[in-house]
Amino acid sequence: MVITLTTDFGTSDYFVGSMKGVILSANPDARIVDISHDIPPQDIEAAAFTLLAAYKSFPKGTVHVAVVDPGVGSSRSPILLAANEQYFVGPDNGLFGYICEREENWQAFQITNESYFRQPVSTTFHGRDVFAPVAAALSRGTTPEELGSPITEFVKLESLVPIPFVEGEIKGRIIHIDNFGNCVTNLTEEHLPDSAELEVNDKEITTVKKFFAEDTKKKSKVFMILGSAGFLELAAKNTSAAKILKAKRGDTVTIRTRMKDEG
């Protein structure tokens, strides 16, 4: 069974290794996959996006563990989400908000059965002491019902659905900037008119490309492209669109049908 890890722990410390040791102690056959440990510290939205973009590539039964956990040790609950025939395990702070928005059928549980925890449970590292052993248990067939109780309320995130059409115009936002400097928006194919004009940070983008190296007549460096996570991205060939646009996560993007050919 596959167990994935998404954290803000970085890779210079013992944190990730310790989680893996705990998992393999409980399930020597687990296949552990790092999605990312370079989530910016305490950045729940970044982890939520990363999970959203990755989870559908994994097989049924995968247990996704996400630990970005500024509230560790406080009264925030450990939770477990069952969706897409997969499990999602982590603190109740919004990490699985985007998954719930995408998946219609989900069940959520508060994890309460401490007999599955690593003892003694530290107050600062539930990744090792709570989430890793719970994930290992799930990967061995323990059911959510054995681990806790169903809940209907848990922390969500601001919706990824863009603000609806207003006179042929939609407002979205940048939800992620990737390693190459591509700016991922919350707009999707359905929001892209045949002849689109996108405004971000007072700059206008009118080129839409199908792939990064596509040649177009237009000279603008930054272009729109439908990215691999299913969202419209702003990209630039072999350079960082984010730098060119001085863009950061949360920046508003406005897309509208282009009236005249400005190419």
Nearest to 198 by CA among 220, 229, 228: 220
Interface residue with a second copy, options 19, 63, 183, 232 (CB under 8 A): 19
Nearest distance from C-beta of residue 125 to a second copy, angstroms: 3
**Which CB sits closer to a second copy, 28 or 164?**
28
Helix (H) or strand (E) holding 101: helix 97-102
Regarding 193 and contact with a second copy (CB under 8 A), the answer is no
Using CA atoms, how far residue 6 sits from 69, 78, 99, in Å, is 11, 15, 14
**Which CB sits closer to a second copy, 71 or 250?**
71
Q: How far apart are CA 31 and CA 22, in angstroms?
A: 13
**Which CB sits closer to a second copy, 213 or 259?**
213
**Which CB sits closer to a second copy, 51 or 147?**
51
Using CA atoms, how far residue 13 sits from 103, 123, 179, in Å, is 34, 18, 22
Chain-centroid distance, C-alpha 136: 22
The answer to whether 207 and 216 have CB atoms below 8 angstroms apart is yes
Contact mark string toward a second copy, 54..93, x via CB under 8 A: xx-xxx--x-------xxxxx-------------------
Nearest to 99 by CA among 4, 193, 22: 4
The answer to whether 161 and 50 have CB atoms below 8 angstroms apart is no
Contact mark string toward a second copy, 214..233, x via CB under 8 A: x----------xxxxx----
Residue 15 has phi, psi (to 5 degrees) of -65, -55
Regarding 37 and contact with a second copy (CB under 8 A), the answer is yes
**Which CB sits closer to a second copy, 17 or 141?**
17
Size of the site for a second copy (CB under 8 A): 66
Q: How far apart are CA 4 and CA 241, in angstroms?
A: 30
Nearest distance from C-beta of residue 20 to a second copy, angstroms: 5
Q: 32: which 2 tokens? A: 């552990």
Nearest distance from C-beta of residue 244 to a second copy, angstroms: 15
**Which CB sits closer to a second copy, 73 or 150?**
73
Nearest to 233 by CA among 188, 199, 183: 183
Among positions 93-112, residues that touch a second copy (CB under 8 A) are none
Residues that bind a second copy (CB under 8 A): 2, 4, 6, 9-22, 24-25, 28, 31-39, 41-42, 50-51, 53-55, 57-59, 62, 70-74, 122-125, 128-129, 178-180, 210-214, 225-229, 237-238
